[in-house]
Amino acid sequence: MRLTLPHLSAEQRKEALAMATAARKRRAEIGAQLKNREMTLAEVIALSETDSAIAKMRVMSLLRALPRVGPQRAHQALDDLGIIPTRRVQGLGCVQRESLVQYFQNLV
């Protein structure tokens, strides 16, 4: 069974591109705020409840935006907590969210 993409008009395509660009920009802003310590991991996770751009962000990208966290430390944290690296923020359960915040609480 083959799935085909819906045919979009030029206006619909332009609208979708604008929405995607806005979401990428929002995720980049959040990453910069985390890196500059203007926001905490707990604040970003709480914000993901209402902001779909953050909710669709991968947990690995979120962790790598933290200061002093690179690919190795992020992978190690996710391994320790039993979280799949490709998981999105909206896909985390309550316990996983709390354990992530606890894990990185002393780091930042």
Are 22 and 53 in contact by the 8 Å Cβ rule? The answer is yes
- 106 pLDDT higher than 80: no
Which bin fits 102, alpha (ψ -120 to 50), beta or left (φ > 0)?
Answer: alpha
Q: What digits encode the pLDDT tens for the residues 51-103?
A: 999 999 999 999 999 999 999 999 999 999 999 999 999 999 999 999 999 99
Task: Please report the pLDDT score of residue 105 as a whole number.
Answer: 87
Task: Please report the pLDDT score of residue 29 as a whole number.
Answer: 95
What is the number of other CB atoms lying within 10 angstroms of the CB of residue 92?
20
Task: Please report the pLDDT score of residue 108 as a whole number.
Answer: 54
Task: Please report the pLDDT score of residue 7 as a whole number.
Answer: 85
Mean pLDDT for the chain overall: 92
For residue 6, the 8-state DSSP code is P
